[in-house]
Structure 1
Amino acid sequence: MTGKVLVLLIVVAAVLAGAGMYYLQVYAYYEEVVPTGSDDVQLTPLNGDTPETILYEDFRAIDADSSPIRYRACFTTPTGLGTLEDIYAPYTGAAPRVAPGWFDCFDAEAIGEDLAEGRAKVFLSQRNLEYGIDRVVAVTQDGRGYVWHEVNDCGDKSYDGSPLDPTCPPREN
């Protein structure tokens, strides 16, 4: 009898711990971002370093203090993809990161397919938003837009302990 009670306690503890970890990963740290309405979506021009706000609507975003790459946002824009390509800097190598299921406007798999098939392009929003982290914006042909954070080359090297190359900015302590 004592063995059955111990097994039951262990199983209950494991289920509670698993449920707690799931909740912490999917819900606990994320917060809805309150849009400013004026500068939530910015892109860096081809010939500049200062991001500019583009026209956007229907902005939704989430973020968490627990990681610099947890930011996700969705929006729509009336500006055509061709116009954006003519004015703003592209960003190569970006891949959307999975968002929690409850943030249903951001489907990383669908965004990745749009990028792979050429139905969307990724632009640089802001380089080194935080050391080693770039904000990027993807826009589809039909005007849907998505924002997330990417670890850049300096961030990769800094986080894995590799020597930084001279193009990396100095790290603030």
Structure 2
Amino acid sequence: MQNCSDRFFVLTGGPSSGKTTLIEALKAAGFATSPEAGRGIIRDQVAVGRSALPWRDKPLFSELMLSWEMRSWHAAYDHAGPVFFDRGVPDTLGYYRLIGLPVPTHVTNAATKFRYNSRVFIAPPWPDIFTQDSERKQTLDEAERTYHSLVGVYTELGYELIELPLASVEARLDFILAEAGLPPHT
């Protein structure tokens, strides 16, 4: 598997920390992006009346997340420029740990093999913008525990975590582009 780490950038963190809004800003600025697995899976499962939902069947939901993230990695492989991911394969490993399930060997293998840029952007918990909705049912406490689980996973996998500032979307966008060594947004 070719190493695309120089151009695959992950934005991770707990729910409702501004990741998806930032991914949308990157997309609007002309960058290739990959959407978050969780919301897509939830929408699809609800639409077809299935149970692979984090509040019904966590193991199946986890497997679908892993599959989604690997598919997203492969889809980005054919794109020539930088790609920003709303979460990455290691997030699935973090999710298994967070919910207290044994981590299957194939999940660890995937997190090791599907690599991203060594610098991973992580959004810290941000109580001022935290919200819940029909798809994001986690509490602020769960969001904080998710953040800490992801810090542990990405650190163990050898990534350098770059914490996003608690700032406006524009300021975060400028921060990411500068840290990624990309031209500033105009």
Would you tell me which structure has more helix in proportion to its own residues?
Answer: 2
TM-score, L = length of structure 1: 0.28
- Higher RCO by CA contacts (8 Å cutoff, separation 6 or greater): 2
Bigger Cα Rg? 1
Would you tell me which structure has more strand in proportion to its own residues?
Answer: 1
